[in-house]
Structure 1
Amino acid sequence: MTASDLATAELTLTGRLTTASNATFLGSIGDAAVVYKPVAGEAPLWDFPGGSLARRELAAYLISQALDWNVVPRTWLRAGPLGDGMVQLWQEPDRAQRAVDLVASDHLPATGWRSVLEGQDQSGQRITLVHEDSPALRRMAVFDLLVNNADRKGDHILAMADGHRYGVDHGLTFHRDPKLRTVLWGWMGDALTAEECEGIDRVGEGLDGELGRRLRDLLSADEVAALAARCDELRADGQFPAPSGGMPAVPWPLF
């Protein structure tokens, strides 16, 4: 299906995700399965401007494209049955895989995983939040740093059968103040790889051209300037940062 078809062909609703905090629908455009989030269904927030989440989802997709890492599924804005909103191609994850998990603290995976935090479950058992130690998930963590993602829950990471990892649900992004809340803290203090630095440079350079022009149509001037500052700071530091700001470091619930 062409980009023109996706933007203009009839969008038919097929279901609703009732666990989402904002109105989120499953739909189809021809033979393409999609997620549709109408602006009219966005819940009011104290720290983000009303009616801005759909634009932030598109801005996050543009950053994913500039990084050239395919973190975010194809995303666009268009009219739908409930008004203008964000539309994203549906991705069916491999239900047998989990990129983020809660495990008993005395049975931590020996290799291939990073520990984030430890706590207790309802029965008092010690449990640890872990995520896989993979290049795909590292790239998502860098992406989250750039877009200042305030809501990277475990279930916002789609583990695909081929090993790819998609990130979804990026309405709470691009705030000018530090807002990073994520389950992906396992690389804190680790040096960025050359590939990760090159991706950050592509975003920073793009802000002076077409990428910056498109983002200024979606975000405030202060938010675009804050994005540029995060690119510069991350490259200067050369490593995954520790939590900062006055907000909790992880989202709640975690999944």
Structure 2
Amino acid sequence: MIYQKKEGVPQFECTEYAEKTKDYVVLIPIINEGDRIIKELKRAYDADIADYADIVICDGGSTDGCTDEKKLKKLQVNTLLVKQDAGKQGAQLRMGIWWALERGYQGIITIDGNNKDSIENVPDFIRKLEAGYDLIQGSRFVKGGKAVNTPLVRLISVQLIHAPIISLTAHQRFTDTTNAYRAYSRRYLEDERVQPLRDVFMTYELLAYLSVRATQLGYKACEIPVTRSYPKKGKTPTKISFFKGNSELMKILVKNAFGAYNPK
């Protein structure tokens, strides 16, 4: 089924392999992740994650075969959403969030599709949502979390730049703010003072914005321990280029700190 573009939501194709079965959904934004997303889904399969939440792929238009229907269905993927419009991660997440809210989920967990994160921890996010938290940030830096082979420059930039700025903006301390492994309650996402479905969120703006808006509005937020693992050798699995990507992130952080993304 094709959903036409509407304000704040890109045009996308939806292929449902199964009906809604859970109150919670895991949204996995990907583009050409190759074997990495398959390995991640196999880990989810082995950990029975589909018993806790529906698994949904938010594809940006992959052409490498990683969204092969037989593979996805075998690994208990509930639905495949394919963006057919402009934008990167932010647009993929807006697509997924709109669809998930329309389908009636009470909470949304997001996780990268490059097999760096411990998808086995999804039940921990759900327990926090059920305990009344509205923003749950996964962190490799809190007690119980694990940072495996984190590149030094990434470690420094997160701990000395990104996390302090986000924490100051949010008025609450967070330690792993570039980590897209987090959960949001339905009430937080549907608050008129939040409005995540806006076209201003095209790349990484939405992650920064949703990291701070919850506590600014008095919603309950916390961090839980997760594992984030980088390969010992070879190319670092990331879509953020060293110079251009990081400079864009800094611009987003500054704009976010000054409230540029708050609804007018």
| TM bracket, shorter-chain basis | 0.3 to 0.5
Rg (Cα) greater in structure: 1
Q: Structure 1-normalised TM-score?
A: 0.32
Q: Structure 2-normalised TM-score?
A: 0.32
Higher relative contact order (CA 8 A, sep 6+): 2
